[in-house]
């Protein structure tokens, strides 16, 4: 394979033939140059190989080979086993792009050795080679911002408990009772409230709120029509005896 011939074939201007296209001719010519040596000989690609690499059909390959022979780009010679093609190197263009000449390791026909050397090594003269100064890139150090973690404030856990023995109706509870306009006897209702929960043995978290709910329910249920509780008279001999009556602190 000769890289120079392939490059020259790609840059060669081919006239438009009859019965074929310029693209197909240039493709077949490039494939033939790929299989040839530097002087255009020793080119033995089979017809099947040309079809495989070009993607063209039998008729298209035959027409392209015939047109290249008529235009003088190739010569065909029949051997015992296969066809031999000879590339007419003088028909190929001698002008190759400079960047391709610099990469080629073989001398280009039609270009002097000095020009060829200068194209490969543009700084081979007496001119000093100036190397670019590459400054190191210093990346700024970004320190992570650590925010202090605030511990959550733990609220005191209030557990259910029985009604206290010293349950007291506070001034705030009395004011609330008066603002609601309840017509019940606050002392009597509170005594019943304490007696009920002591007998039931229930447990609550907030007994003041439970008392308010009881007052609401009693007001809705009775209003001003609640009958007074009957009180039993105590004998004189037992005036100082403790009957276990519930006392409410007001």
pLDDT in tens, 158-196: 788 888 888 889 999 999 999 988 888 889 889 989 988
The values of phi and psi at residue 135, to 5°, are -85, 140
Judge whether 175 lies within some domain.
Answer: yes
Judge whether 49 lies within some domain.
Answer: yes
Domain boundary among 91, 123, 150: 91
| Domain hosting residue 26, numbered range | 3-91
pLDDT band at 241 (very low <50, low <70, confident <90, very high): very low
Domain boundary among 40, 67, 91: 91
Judge whether 237 lies within some domain.
Answer: no
Domain count of the chain? 2
Answer yes or no: are the C-beta atoms of 102 and 120 closer than 8 Å.
yes
pLDDT band at 50 (very low <50, low <70, confident <90, very high): confident
Task: Give the pTM.
Answer: 0.38
Domain boundary among 48, 69, 91: 91
* CATH number assigned to the domain comprising residue 53: 1.10.10.10
Judge whether 145 lies within some domain.
Answer: no
From 3-7, 55-59, 162-166, 240-244, the region with the lowest mean pLDDT: 240-244
pLDDT in tens, 110-161: 444 445 445 544 554 555 667 788 888 888 888 888 888 887 877 777 788 8
**More reliable by pLDDT, 6 or 113:** 6
- Residue 82 pLDDT > 50: yes
Output the six-digit token pair for 134. Answer: 């590459």
Judge whether 245 lies within some domain.
Answer: no
Answer yes or no: are the C-beta atoms of 245 and 232 closer than 8 Å.
no
Judge whether 217 lies within some domain.
Answer: yes
Judge whether 107 lies within some domain.
Answer: no
- Residue 5 pLDDT > 60: yes
| Distances, alpha carbon 52 to alpha carbons 27, 31, 45, 46, 147, in Å | 12, 11, 11, 10, 69
Q: CA–CA separation, 103 vs 88, rounded Å? A: 24
């Amino acid at each position: 394979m000769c890289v120079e011939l392939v490059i020259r074939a790609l840059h060669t201007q081919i006239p438009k033939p009859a019965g074929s296209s310029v693209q197909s001719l240039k493709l077949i010519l490039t494939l033939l140059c790929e299989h040839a040596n530097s002087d255009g000989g020793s080119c033995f690609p089979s017809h099947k190989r040309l079809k495989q690499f070009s993607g063209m059909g039998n008729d298209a390959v035959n027409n392209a080979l015939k047109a290249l022979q008529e235009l003088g780009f190739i010569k065909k010679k029949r051997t015992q086993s296969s066809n031999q093609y000879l590339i007419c190197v003088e028909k190929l263009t001698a002008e190759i792009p400079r960047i391709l000449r610099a990469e080629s390791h073989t001398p280009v026909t039609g270009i002097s050795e000095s020009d060829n050397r200068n194209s490969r090594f543009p700084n081979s003269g007496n001119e000093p080679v100036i190397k670019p100064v590459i400054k190191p890139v210093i990346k700024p150090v970004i320190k992570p911002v650590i925010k202090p973690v605030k511990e959550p404030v733990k609220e005191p856990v209030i557990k259910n408990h029985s009604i206290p023995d010293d349950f007291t109706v506070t001034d705030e509870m009395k004011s609330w009772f008066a603002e609601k306009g309840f017509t019940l006897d606050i002392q009597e209702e509170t005594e019943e409230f304490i007696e009920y929960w002591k007998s039931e043995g229930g447990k609550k978290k907030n007994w003041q709120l439970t008392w308010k709910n009881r007052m609401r329910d009693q007001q809705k249920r009775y209003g001003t029509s609640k009958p007074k509780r009957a009180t039993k008279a105590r004998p004189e001999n037992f005036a100082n005896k403790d009957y276990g009556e519930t006392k409410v602190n007001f």
